[in-house]
Amino acid sequence: MDEAVERRRFLGLTAAAAALGLTATVAGCGSLGGDSGDVTLRLVAAEYDLTGGDSTKKYWTDLVAAFEAQHPGVKIEIQVESWDDVDRKVAEMVAAGNAPDIAQIGAYADYADAGKLYAADEILSIPVQANFLAPLVAAGESKRTQYGLPFVASTRPLFYNEDLFDQAGLKAPKTWAELAAAAEKLKDDGVPTPFALPLGPEEAQAETLMWLLSGGGGWTDATDHYVVDSDANVRTFEWLRTNLVGKGLTGPVAPGKLNRKAAFAAFARGEVGMLNGHPSLVKEAAKKGVKVGQVPLPGADGTPKSSMGVADWIMGFKQNGHRKEIGDFLNFVFSDENVLKFAGDNDLLPVTVSASTRMETDPEYANLREFLKGLPNAQLPPVGKTSWAKVSENVKQNIGKAVAPGAKPAEVLAAIGRAATAAEAAE
């Protein structure tokens, strides 16, 4: 999904509505208006099932059936599209004047900027709106108003191969220096890729943000303006170039050519000592006998103040004027039972405070707790800026150059930063 996140895509739900508790209503939600007669809503949603199955469609079908049973005047048509197509297809619908009523996709900012979306406080009850985790609310805001409603979230801790670490007599690193020393030892032990650094075009913007945050920087400053070539960001990339890439610790493929998918596959084969991981990799590695250790990505001098988070979004379009019905449905979507089951069964994180609290204490979700720890203090990419899509694409294509042999990180970051500032001025 995000990354919107890397197009990380996950396994879907298969249980029936009754078993999931999908008929649960949101306490205190109520209705956003009176009975307005028969209404049909169109929902376009992203496919989360990587196996080629129909589990995502089944999830929405079961949820919609439960909702319609409680709202006999409302029908919902469901259209599930792959992550390769869903954002484009929704954009085409909107451009053709045929917007869906609800879209669960990867980005919302352009639609919010064009005045096409309902604000959160126009469609959600106060209890539901107040229940979102604070970092996700902030990421869902465009010009200080929330339009993007977080649907699922994820964080990215450091993964390490426990067997390789045990064989090398290593402990999980807590600082950059310890990380580099561990990578050196793994290299001496013959590990092909001591640390996988995927700065290729698949999802380089996310990998980069993880490192920027661990170095005390980020994409934007406190006023939400781009600071791509800040001193902290330059220092981070100088460290990566000198201490990891320059010492041959990032494997046989140059970071600028290495994509996340390939890095994850190599980790699952036991060829990678460490990388910044994603929940979907835990099960994949376990299937192939790789034991995964998880710790926060080390900072320059210890655990950084914040880690990277990503989210996928759901939103209501104004075009057809179905504010009340859209709101009733979305309030239903965000019940604890629905949020927790979809997130947990897809190895993702819930987006609400109450569902997160339940996940923290439920043994069923023990494998997600390390990811959950980072979410309250997570920082997301600046997805509320309409310029971010262009900036993100520039990063994907060029950030790998900053760690290439003989590169000057300050120059690469400055070039990206100038383009970002220009894109921001055009917002």
* Residue spans per domain, the chain: 17-155+310-374, 158-307+387-425
Average pLDDT of the residues in 324-339 = 97
Q: Which DSSP category does 226 fall into?
A: B
Alpha helix segments (H runs only) across 96-230: 109-113, 120-123, 126-130, 134-139, 162-168, 176-188, 204-214
pLDDT at 34: 38
pLDDT of residue 10: 31
Q: What is the dihedral of CA 68, 74, 79, 85, to 10 degrees?
A: -120
Structure confidence by residue, pLDDT tens digits, 200-211: 999 899 999 999
User: Stretch 101-128: mean pLDDT, rounded?
Assistant: 97
Helix intervals (H) in 215-320: 231-239, 260-268, 279-287
- Number of Cβ atoms within 10 Å of the Cβ of 171: 12
The more confident residue out of 308 and 303 is: 308
Q: At 55, is the pLDDT very low, low, confident or very high (cuts 50, 70, 90)?
A: confident
Residue 187 clears pLDDT 90, i.e. is over it: yes
pLDDT digits 0-9 by tens, 366-378: 888 889 988 988 9
Structure confidence by residue, pLDDT tens digits, 133-178? 999 999 999 999 999 999 999 999 999 999 999 999 999 999 999 9
User: Which distant-in-sequence residues (6+ apart) come within 8 Å of 250 by Cβ?
Assistant: 193, 194, 195, 196, 197, 244, 258
At residue 117, the pLDDT reads 98
Which CATH code for domain 17-155+310-374? 3.40.190.10
Confidence of residue 3 (pLDDT cuts 50, 70, 90): very low
pLDDT of residue 50: 66
What does R_g of the chain's alpha carbons equal in angstroms? 22
DSSP 8-class letter at 364: G
Q: Measure the CA–CA gap between 336 and 339, rounded to whole angstroms.
A: 5
CA distance 22 to 327: 17
State the distance between the two ends of the chain, measured CA to CA, in whole angstroms. Answer: 25
Type of residue numbered 130: A
Q: In whole angstroms, what is the distance from residue 423 CA to residue 410 CA?
A: 20
14 pLDDT higher than 50? no
Q: What is the pLDDT of residue 148?
A: 98
CB 98 within 8 A of CB 112: no
Q: CA 370 → CA 335, 360, 419, distances in Å? A: 24, 10, 36
Q: Name the 3-class secondary structure at 201.
A: coil
pLDDT at 1: 45
Task: Kindly report, residue by residue over 236-272, the tens digit of the pLDDT.
Answer: 999 999 999 999 999 999 999 999 999 999 999 999 9
Assess contact for 150 and 132: CB atoms under 8 A.
Answer: yes
CATH homologous superfamily, domain 158-307+387-425: Periplasmic binding protein-like II (3.40.190.10)
| pLDDT tens column, 58-92 | 999 999 999 999 999 999 999 999 988 999 999 99
The per-residue pLDDT for 27 is: 33
Amino acid code (one letter) for 54: D
Identify the pLDDT of residue 352. Answer: 97
